Structure 1
Amino acid sequence: MQPALLPGDNIIVNKLAFGGRLFNLTAAAENKPIHIRRMPGFQKIKRNDVLVFNFPYPSRWDSIAFDLMKYYVKRCVALPGDTFSIVNAHYYVKGCSDALGNMESQDNLLTLLNEGTHKEISLKGYPHDSLVDWDIRNFGPLYVPAKGSVVIMNQMNAILYKQLIEYEQNMKITISGDTVFLNNYPIKWYQFRQNYYFMAGDKTRDSRDSRYWGLLPEEFIVGKAALIWKSVRPGTSKCEWRRLLKSIE
């Protein structure tokens, strides 16, 4: 998340802004199935909010799972119901003219890609399927599901939303030709049970974000990154006083 956050930063997370989560901590710690409920919040998630969340792929890239002890912090660049694209390494939402994410970092990534000096950068993007030729230069368009929204279950959508549907249903998706099966039953459409978000790190050339692993379920969101309450220079015990109580924007 550089430059918004730097190594050594300690942050305060507002868990009440979007509503605190209620779930069985013991079951979560033991990696047992849990049901997450959310209390009413006093604000809604907006594009460009910096969020803290449980990383949805802690052990396998093909299966969403909840890990109580694995947290990421990234910037939300697309909301439920948005159609998100990356064009020449820059982020866009259909119908939205706002700058999304760190624009300078996106410019720098495009320069590296154009110059061919990106050997250490992984280019292949989600969903990592030979039928979907997306990468971090050009990605999408991808519809970000909102709770209650419906998508046609063709081969393309089955590839894009396989992990989400399997997570919601605890069943397996398989594809045979143009027919999509959920636990061996053919389905022609699917209605999503929750909201999803597209998350991106500000350090665009080196961020393990939704460009690589896909969409974030709403119930994995812990809260909004609010303040840097302390910052210590890496490898030392020296406090970076200039970052004390700095707002995270």
Structure 2
Amino acid sequence: MKVKKTTRSIIQWIFIILGAIVLAVSLRVFIFDTYTIPTPSMEPAIMSGDHVVVNKLVPGPRIIKNFFSLGKGVKPVFTRLTGWKVERNDVLIFNFPYSDRGRMDLDMNLFYAKRCVAVPGDTFYIENGFYKVKHVSDTLGYHENQRILSERPDHEFAPEIFHCFPYDSHHTWSIKNFGPVYIPERGSTMPIDTLNAIIYRDLITYETGKPVSVKNGTVVLGDSVISEYTFNRNYYFMAGDYVFDSQDSRYWGLLPEDHITGKVSFVWNTKDMRTGKIRWNRFLKKVK
């Protein structure tokens, strides 16, 4: 009798432990995850050494459709469950889209934290250092750093920091004056010409798998001449709050929605990277 009770008790505990593991994994996959911030590019909102909790319900949990094929040279293909929309000024964690320089890709091992300053359908621009969206009066990003940027003379910046995407003689954009650039929305159709093809070619190639080139004054997608294109993904403009030193959309372009992991909600733990001491004043601090 004792043996039977002991066996039943062991089985019950096995089910409890397995249930707890399934619950923990499910929460990490569908609801939240944690990340460590290694750089100061988002200061003062989040600091190097912060450990943050990320809400995956914004814009919705990603599910890898070809999970069992990964590790065989196959790139991940995601489907996204229904979630909440990304809003301007949300701080997001995302996979860096250009780990393979020269073309857009998705690196599952490289994550960035930046602030979304423009959402699909927006027309974004930087005017004398200040971030703006046409017909929107909201303050975007960390305004104080933008003010300091606007007051610094252009010659004080190194050329590789001052000059911006798309690095073209027709678009002499800088960190102080950038755009305007339309942020594509899923289903939106826009004219494509020899001037804007350089801005959107990586996005179009990412969606179609075909190269975009300019030949004899026309835009060619694969082997076909195009004059317009309908986007099948949403895109975002991402910016670091520390505007003087941040590898963000000013330098590499627009972020596809399938790269987004989630929205940074709060700091759950943090240590000063220099001293190793816990910064208690940031414990459970909400990120906004």
What range is the shorter-chain TM-score in?
A: over 0.9
Match of 1:37 among 50, 54, 79: 79
Task: Find the counterpart in structure 2 of residue 133 from structure 1.
Answer: 172
Match of 2:53 among 5, 8, 12: 12
Change (3 A) 1:25 1:140: same
Change (3 A) 1:59 1:177: same
Q: Which has the larger radius of gyration?
A: 2
C-alpha displacement of 1:240: 0.8
- Answer with 176-185 or 192-201: which moved more: 176-185
Which fold has the larger relative contact order, with Cα–Cα distance below 8 Å and residues 6 or more apart in sequence? 1
C-alpha displacement of 1:33: 2.6
In structure 2, how many angstroms separate the alpha carbons of the residues matched to 1:121 and 1:2? 21
State the SS of the aligned residue for 1:242. helix
One-letter code of the match for 1:79?
V
One-letter code of the match for 2:44?
P
2:198 corresponds to 1:156: no
C-alpha displacement of 1:112: 2.0
Change (3 A) 1:26 1:10: farther
Deviations 1:40-63 (A, max 9, x none): 11x211100000000001120x21
In structure 2, how many angstroms separate the alpha carbons of the residues matched to 1:163 and 1:27? 25
In structure 2, how many angstroms separate the alpha carbons of the residues matched to 1:134 and 1:241? 41
Task: Find the counterpart in structure 2 of residue 182 from structure 1.
Answer: 221
C-alpha displacement of 1:133: 1.4
Task: Find the counterpart in structure 1 of residue 25 from structure 2.
Answer: none
Task: Find the counterpart in structure 2 of residue 231 from structure 1.
Answer: 270
Match of 1:88 among 107, 128, 140: 128
In structure 2, how many angstroms separate the alpha carbons of the residues matched to 1:246 and 1:229? 7
2:98 corresponds to 1:46: no
2:141 corresponds to 1:101: yes
TM-score by length of 2: 0.82
Q: What 5-or-longer segments of structure 1 have no aligned partner?
A: none
**8 Å contact from structure 1 (residues 28, 68) kept in 2:** no
C-alpha displacement of 1:19: 1.0
In structure 2, how many angstroms separate the alpha carbons of the residues matched to 1:158 and 1:119? 27
TM-score by length of 1: 0.94
State the SS of the aligned residue for 2:190. strand
In structure 2, how many angstroms separate the alpha carbons of the residues matched to 1:131 and 1:206? 25
C-alpha displacement of 1:98: 0.3
One-letter code of the match for 2:62?
R
Task: Find the counterpart in structure 2 of residue 145 from structure 1.
Answer: 184
In structure 1, how many angstroms separate the alpha carbons of the residues matched to 2:147 and 2:128? 9
In structure 2, how many angstroms separate the alpha carbons of the residues matched to 1:58 and 1:158? 22
**8 Å contact from structure 1 (residues 53, 73) kept in 2:** yes
Higher helix share: 2
In the comparison of the two structures, how many residue pairs are matched? 246
One-letter code of the match for 1:9?
D
Change (3 A) 1:178 1:191: same
- Answer with 218-227 or 133-142: which moved more: 133-142
C-alpha displacement of 1:108: 1.0
In structure 1, how many angstroms separate the alpha carbons of the residues matched to 2:225 and 2:59? 37
Task: Find the counterpart in structure 2 of residue 75 from structure 1.
Answer: 115
Change (3 A) 1:231 1:29: farther
Task: Find the counterpart in structure 1 of residue 35 from structure 2.
Answer: none
Change (3 A) 1:102 1:69: same
Change (3 A) 1:27 1:140: farther
In structure 2, how many angstroms separate the alpha carbons of the residues matched to 1:64 and 1:89? 27
One-letter code of the match for 1:182?
L
Deviations 1:25-78 (A, max 9, x none): 45455552332110011x211100000000001120x21111001000000000
State the SS of the aligned residue for 2:162. coil
Identity of aligned pairs, percent? 43
